[in-house]
Structure 1
């Protein structure tokens, strides 16, 4: 993915940090993904422990860093891109509980470990190596959170361009919990229309029914012409109780132990 940090930094400075005006006058999809406050909907509902430490894998232009810094005691942002970290630092310069580390997960070390490790679109190949490293960096009662595109998602079957790294629900569950499902526990959530600009987040205990998504397909990256009626197809999969399989993306919360 093309790193737009330098141009974002220049725009941010030109607009004196006024992101709303910046987006209004520069209506580009990649700017929206990087700067929109809608990004925070992904985890704004999640109950972080206020005295916790969090490792954010991938700077992602600071799209979620501000949320983390307001909700936990200490945030560490890890990214191999100096430019991305530089823009993130500028964007959140008023926050004093964020540490920026230029590097990758493979070579990163921590003596104390983290209460939370988050991959919001940053989980990539080799998947097994990344998740194993994250588990090693977690405290015994820590939580790993991951958001990723579903390669079977209806939006992509309809013609939208999928991200480079994507997994099916079964693949993701096996990655996190092992083929026998004995390596910890995971809860699945389903951001709609996707994890990047989520409007509604469903769960296994709160799934959409027929009609719920007929006219609620809000997304900015759909092609002009779809291969099929997406709303109608979502109705079909909801009625057939297959939404979990064909949701556009996943948000998972993994821990070593069953939560009370």
Structure 2
């Protein structure tokens, strides 16, 4: 039914129907036709407006840029070949095409394969094969094979007494000697399931925990130990475990066996997704509130919602140890921050637009801050990626928390004062009448005393989280955002908002009303709050924030409540 559409669009990838048996064994129903229509009517990977306007879960799930986060941070070898098993509607295929020399994508459903064909219509290095992997004869071996949400279904699609192992054994034969298999799958004992979330594949609460006793053979997930054993008994000598958070389907953070979440991570949980929207009637506990205890008791790996496992005979695994993704932003601002075993920190643009604009701005920001006589960690550029050395110094935010433990308000205020002095030093000043807040149509009264000094260039990331404290001096890093003609007090307000959001216990030692008075923000507070929300709108991909339930800018922006007003 899509032959005319395909002929009209003349996509570059090859569509191979040699192994197709003229039946699609699974489908989300008619919504898949609508998704294909969205794909065809929009430029590749630009679906945010359509998702926002026609939101439902299948549309969001298949078209959200967050789907790419399971692999867009990964370091693929140059000139490598990839076999993607179960490409679905192409959510990850374009990432593989961009990162690797050639991609072979296998998909059981012709309709979904058609979606991938149209979604990746500009990719000349892609062949899509429609059919069951177990039937297909391949004439080459691959550097990488991906199984993203596929292994758990092999009880249905692999006919043998041990379908999961036999499937992995077959896959290993398609890998080069040092090739790598990447497996993403839900954890049978994921925390969301203990809280009552229905098992993803069968829709029954606690079904995986109860060993799938109420469903017939066909689908199952595994614990970490069971999965590791299965992979190694299938012939792979080595594994490396990653833990996509909150899960592998729409991850925003990638932890690893070398870098697990800390207590601070779980308390902040800025990227936590509320699963209760799926079925509130079955939930018996609050997942978010349990994470702190799970981390403190050293059992995160057992309760993680999902796994991503790197499997190989090679021992060269786990080159990346941690990654944080910002795909909830607009296309030009999407980046991955990744930590490597070589003690480097890398800022990888996730889109061409980001590489061409935002990365260049970040490099410019480093030069501007240095010219102001302020210390900042510098980058080198490696193939479009910003690379800096890992700095083993305390974050200023942590230094403030140590002072809080001692109830040392004077020390906390001293550190805040020090930050504010550097904010004032970071740029020359302009006339108070040039204040950016007066030019945005927010109906803010002009008041020189209320807003204080106006910086020609304001660096919004001069926060307690984006600074090291080194022998009494501040070393800044990751200065992404700049605005012109910004009140210096707004930069401080922005930093304090993040600090107090992350650590509400600060109120006990340094109450926020006292802080507001100390820095004379009483008459500017409401204007700053409104301006902060407007900035969030300028940065955020509206479809991801409003429909996806994620927080923006580390959770500091109350975006949804005012976005309609600010759009006028």
User: What is aligned with 2:178?
Assistant: 141
User: What is aligned with 1:76?
Assistant: 104
Distance in structure 1 (CA, Å) of the matches to 2:55 and 2:255: 29
User: What is aligned with 1:259?
Assistant: 316
User: What is aligned with 1:242?
Assistant: 299
Contact preservation (8 Å) 2:141, 2:176:
yes
Distance in structure 2 (CA, Å) of the matches to 1:160 and 1:202: 22
Q: TM-score, normalised by structure 2?
A: 0.44
User: What is aligned with 1:45?
Assistant: 73
Q: CA RMSD in A?
A: 1.9
Contact preservation (8 Å) 1:215, 1:231:
no
Distance in structure 1 (CA, Å) of the matches to 2:40 and 2:127: 22
Which deviates further from its counterpart, 80-89 or 227-236? 227-236
1:228 and 2:285 are equivalent in the alignment: yes
1:187 and 2:240 are equivalent in the alignment: yes
Deviations 1:131-175 (A, max 9, x none): 111101111111000000001000122122222242110111011
Distance in structure 1 (CA, Å) of the matches to 2:95 and 2:41: 24
Task: Please state how far the C-alpha of 1:33 moved relative to its aligned partner.
Answer: 1.5
Deviations 1:13-62 (A, max 9, x none): 34565401111112212212111111111111211012111000002210
Distance in structure 2 (CA, Å) of the matches to 1:100 and 1:221: 33
Give matches, 1:97-116, under 5 Å: 97-116=125-144
Q: Larger radius of gyration, structure 1 or 2?
A: 2
Which deviates further from its counterpart, 112-121 or 228-237? 228-237
Give matches, 1:26-65, under 5 Å: 26-65=54-93
Please give the secondary structure, in 2, of the residue aligned with 1:49. coil
Q: Unmatched 5+ residue regions in structure 1?
A: none
Task: Please state how far the C-alpha of 1:215 moved relative to its aligned partner.
Answer: 4.3
Distance in structure 2 (CA, Å) of the matches to 1:27 and 1:5: 13
Please give the secondary structure, in 2, of the residue aligned with 1:106. helix
Contact preservation (8 Å) 1:149, 1:162:
no
Residues 198, 147 of structure 1: alpha-carbon distance in 2 compared, 3 angstrom cutoff: same
Pick one of 166, 175, 179 that aligns with 2:221.
166
User: What is aligned with 1:202?
Assistant: 255
User: What is aligned with 1:9?
Assistant: 36
The structure showing larger relative contact order (alpha-carbon pairs under 8 Å, at least 6 residues apart) is 1
Residues 152, 11 of structure 1: alpha-carbon distance in 2 compared, 3 angstrom cutoff: same
1:24 and 2:52 are equivalent in the alignment: yes
1:219 and 2:247 are equivalent in the alignment: no
Contact preservation (8 Å) 2:82, 2:103:
yes
Give the aligned length.
Answer: 258
